[in-house]
Amino acid sequence: MCANKNIVNYNSSYYYMNCLFMFIEYMDGGCLTEVIYQYMKKIPERIAAYIMREILLGLKMLHEHKQIHRDLKSDNILVGKDGSIKVADFGFAIQLTK
């Protein structure tokens, strides 16, 4: 239901020895927090604007499906070395209903 280029893809989950393992799309650039620290907290404005745009496109799709992330932070934004930006970690997300 949430397939979108700005949302990390979920593959599968397994329960093994009282632990839940979730397998999601691999993002080879790590989280946005790591990228910010690599650039010494000085990301050029045009790149920051691109990152924000991609995050907002992901959130727009979620909101169109009446879903709320509720834990948006740089640790939950994943970056690909190809420049892709994806929202991840839906542990606190909720589905709004009537």
Catalytic residues: 71
Do residues 75 and 31 touch, judged by C-beta distance below 8 A?
yes
- Number of helices and strands (H, E) in the chain? 2, 6
Element (H, E) at 32: helix 32-38
HSE-CB at 90 with a 13 A cutoff on CA atoms is: 17
